[in-house]
């Protein structure tokens, strides 16, 4: 459990720091400066950017971003599946990984019940997204056909990241979360096997969270756009 806490906290923080630094480089022109000066400027930029989210109008910008994102998908089923997947995933990440890292006891009581319900909503919405959009991310499809498809799920994302890999990584880790949670509830496995299922469940959640962070980074407006 201690190793999982260290690995989770380190990988999430490093990924966020690297993505933030990439945005910092794109938005601030520093030229050639010593490492300490650049690092200090990055810390000030990160603190100022984070603080702006909690100022007046910060929540409005976040909400308008999601409204614009949902508005690009006219089909109601796609909007519902996308909203349900992200909202349930936010709670799953906060209650699952958050309590696993910062609470020695982990999940229990009402948060655990809501976690199970949120997992059901997430896997249902993820299944709908796979049914509706998986054909756009088959590796054998030519790139032209992918770009010609109307309102592709990742159409607004830059082509710098391997989008099919990220899509299927989230799908695989999401279904791994559901499967390991279900199997750990069945009375057919020894105690050691259940511990292994819980470990796989936790690391599947970590992979899903890292993938979701990459998705959100690509969806957010780029500096200067």
pLDDT averaged over every residue in the chain: 78
- Give pLDDT tens digits for 110-166: 888 899 999 999 999 999 888 887 776 776 544 444 444 444 444 444 444 567 788
Regarding the domain with residue range 58-219, which homologous superfamily does it belong to in the CATH classification?
A: Transmembrane di-heme cytochromes, Chain C (1.20.950.20)
Question: 3-class secondary structure for the chain?
Answer: CHHHHHHHHHHHHHHHHHHHHHHHHHHCCCCCCCHHHHHHHHHHHHHHHHHHHCCCCHHHHHHHHHHHHHHCCCCHHHHHHHHHHHHHHHHHHHHHHHHHHHCCCCCCHHHHHHHHHHHHHHHHHHHHHHHHHHHHHCCCCCHHHHHHCCCCCCCCCCCCCCHHHHHHHHHHHHHHHHHHHHHHHCCCCCHHHHHHHHHHHHHHHHHHHHHHHHHHHHHCCCCCC
For the question of whether the overall pTM of this predicted structure is more than 0.75, the answer is: yes
pLDDT tops 90 at residue 176: yes
The mean-pLDDT minimum among 4-8, 9-13, 50-54 falls in 50-54
Domain ranges of the chain: 58-219
């Amino acid at each position: 459990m201690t190793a999982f806490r260290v690995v989770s906290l380190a990988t999430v923080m490093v990924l966020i720091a690297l993505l933030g630094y990439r945005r910092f480089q794109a938005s601030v022109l520093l030229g050639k400066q010593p490492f300490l000066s650049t690092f200090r400027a990055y810390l000030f930029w990160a603190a100022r950017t984070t603080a702006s989210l909690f100022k007046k109008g910060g929540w409005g910008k976040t909400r308008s971003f999601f409204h614009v994102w949902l508005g690009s998908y006219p089909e109601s089923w796609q909007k519902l599946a996308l909203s349900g997947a992200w909202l349930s995933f936010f709670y799953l990440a906060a209650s699952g990984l958050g309590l696993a890292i910062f609470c020695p006891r982990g999940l229990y009581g009402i948060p655990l019940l809501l976690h199970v319900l949120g997992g059901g909503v997430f896997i249902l919405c993820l299944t709908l997204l796979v049914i509706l959009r998986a054909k756009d991310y088959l590796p054998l499809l030519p790139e032209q056909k992918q770009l010609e498809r109307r309102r592709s799920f990742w159409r607004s994302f830059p082509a710098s990241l391997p989008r099919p890999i990220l899509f299927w990584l989230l799908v695989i880790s999401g279904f791994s979360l559901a499967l390991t949670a279900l199997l750990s509830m069945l009375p057919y496995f020894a105690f050691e096997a259940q511990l292994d299922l819980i470990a796989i469940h936790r690391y599947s959640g970590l992979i899903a969270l890292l993938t979701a962070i990459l998705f959100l980074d690509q969806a957010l407006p780029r500096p200067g756009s």
